[in-house]
Amino acid sequence: MTGISHPILLLGVGTAGAKIAHGVSRAFGDGMRCVLVDTDASSSVEGADFILLGGDRLAGRGAGGDIVAARLAAEDSLQTLNSKVEGIRLAVIVTSLGGGTGGGATIEISKHLADLGIATVVFATTPFFFEGEDRMRNARSAMSLIEQEANSVFFLPLDKLVGEEDVMQEAMKRAVDTLSGGISLLWRLIMKPGYIKLDADRLRHLMTGSGRGRFSFVTVQGPDRASQAVEKLANSELLSLADAPVNGILCGVLAGEDLRLSELGRIADGIRTSFGEHVSFELGTVNDEATFCGRLCVVIMLFEKLPKAEKSLASGTKGKRRRASGMSPAVDRGRFSNSAPTIWHGEDLDLPTFMRRSINLDF
Ligand SMILES: Nc1nc2c(ncn2[C@@H]2O[C@H](COP(=O)(O)OP(=O)(O)OP(=O)(O)O)[C@@H](O)[C@H]2O)c(=O)[nH]1
Ligand SMILES: [Mg+2]
């Protein structure tokens, strides 16, 4: 199966984002379309597709933590991206917020891709606590704008990607390695489905229409590996239920030929019990003996809301701006447009039921 047949592109944006994306494409191997994008020429890696943003403006030296400079640099060079996204329907952007380019360029790229009708899912790390308030502020200002432009976003605090006992100098590298591993697992789930197949359209629909989500993954082995996986995920800080209620769960189990039905059952039950028994649940498997022999990897995405009808996907910035503003779907509120919404248990009751329940009406 070649990458060409898959209309999905991985984009690594900014210096750390490029490193993570390159790590993902190395971990995944052939068949992944990946482009690295940075204002810093030194992010170019031999053998990888690379776009330098704002070469004339920033001379290939990076944006120096300036989000505005990075946005302008991205604007200068957006057309360069066009030839790389031909035939693409979904772009997965990986970036690290805190500097200039990761945040600034991701905002502009997401907007540009939306104009081209390409949906975007963004995985963005937020800075370590020890990096200081300036970087955190930089990250926060980019987060809200990215949320407005991208279809779905997964913010991953770097502090939660590494153990407290990790040595500081090692922490960056570990975080990059961990995230690369997790996203390459997600890629396998999308590209190499196993016995239990996630419907590709359903998967795209969920991933691109769900606003903010949470993402985590574990690798386990041994006789009680299924229970271990559930326990680790239930305790994962990346999936903390304190953040916001969950409306949908997507779970991928990647294993070798020894994956037992009972293990799948234990994982599915455990995850539903931990994160929501009455919410939409999608399960997929990847069976790859060569890669996962004896090991079992579980990838999980929690969605804070379910996507609306497929028709409204990739419907441009306006729709996404509304979606980012909270729980109200991107619809015209008609005769209610001048009155305050009637919110009950987090739902805008002025909207028709089929919209609130994300029921796909086949017009
Ligand atoms: N420099 C660096 N940053 C990392 C690394 N891993 C994660 N990061 C995080 O990435 C964030 C953004 O840093 P960079 O990627 O260097 O910034 P950038 O997006 O290239 O922005 P500019 O360099 O200002 O153009 C930092 O605040 C860190 O939280 C790493 O290996 N090196
Ligand atoms: Mg940089």
- Per DSSP bridges, beta strands 211-221 and 295-303 are antiparallel
CA distances from 101 to 9, 12, 125, 226, 360 (A): 19, 11, 13, 40, 38
Q: Give the C-alpha separation, 340 to 337, whole Å.
A: 8
**Are 3-192 and 211-303 equal in CATH topology?**
no
154: left (phi over 0), alpha (psi -120 to 50) or beta: beta
Task: Report residues near ion ligand 2: CB below 5 Å.
Answer: 15, 40, 62
The pLDDT of residue 325 is 31
Q: How many Å lie between the centroid of ligand 2 and the Cα of residue 41?
A: 9
The pLDDT of residue 330 is 41
Question: Ligand 1: which of 93, 136, 140, 172 to mutate, judged by most atoms within 8 Å of the beta carbon?
Answer: 172
3-192 is classed in which CATH architecture? 3-Layer(aba) Sandwich (3.40)
Compare 209 and 214 and report the one with higher pLDDT. Answer: 214
Residues 6+ apart with CB under 8 A from 83: none
Nearest Cα neighbor of 308 from 213, 216, 205, 220 is 205
Q: Give the C-alpha separation, 181 to 7, whole Å.
A: 21
Phi, psi (5° rounding) for residue 99?
Answer: -95, -155
For residue 62 and ligand 1, the question of a CB distance below 6 A is answered with yes
Nearest Cα neighbor of 185 from 48, 32, 44, 303 is 32
Among 23-32, 112-121, 352-361, the minimum mean pLDDT is found in 352-361
Provide the pLDDT confidence category of residue 346 given band limits of 50, 70 and 90.
low
Ligand nearest to the CA of 101: 1
Residue nearest to atom 13 of ligand 1 (CA): 99
The pLDDT of residue 343 is 60
CA contacts within 13 A on the Cβ side of 1: 12
The packing angle between helices 133-149 and 101-115, to 10°, is: 0
Burial 298-318 (b: 16+ CB within 10 A, else e): bbbbbbbbbbbbeebbbbeee
Q: How many Å lie between the centroid of ligand 1 and the Cα of residue 56?
A: 22
SS3 37: strand
* Contact indicator for 313, 205 with CB cutoff of 8 Å: yes
CATH number of the domain located at residue range(s) 211-303 in this protein? 3.30.1330.20
Provide the pLDDT confidence category of residue 2 given band limits of 50, 70 and 90.
very low
For residue 98 and ligand 1, the question of a CB distance below 6 A is answered with yes
Compare 27 and 295 and report the one with higher pLDDT. Answer: 295
Which ligand 1 atom sits nearest the alpha carbon of residue 43? 20
CA distances from 310 to 95, 204, 295, 313, 359 (A): 27, 10, 36, 6, 10
285-292 mean pLDDT: 88
225 pLDDT higher than 50: yes
Q: How many Å lie between the centroid of ligand 1 and the Cα of residue 82?
A: 25
Provide the pLDDT confidence category of residue 328 given band limits of 50, 70 and 90.
very low
CB atoms within 10 A of CB 356: 17
**Average model confidence (pLDDT) for the chain?**
82
Ligand nearest to the CA of 16: 1
Could you tell me the two tokens for 8? Answer: 């999905």
For residue 53 and ligand 1, the question of a CB distance below 6 A is answered with no
Hey, which bits of the chain come out as E strands? 8-13, 33-38, 49-52, 90-96, 119-126, 152-157, 211-221, 248-255, 280-287, 295-303, 343-344, 347-348
For residue 270 and ligand 1, the question of a CB distance below 6 A is answered with no
- pTM score of the predicted model: 0.82
Q: How many Å lie between the centroid of ligand 2 and the Cα of residue 26?
A: 21
Q: Give the C-alpha separation, 102 to 40, whole Å.
A: 11
Compare 133 and 176 and report the one with higher pLDDT. Answer: 133
202 pLDDT higher than 70: yes
Which ligand 1 atom sits nearest the alpha carbon of residue 17? 15
The pLDDT of residue 350 is 52
Domain ranges of the chain: 3-192, 211-303
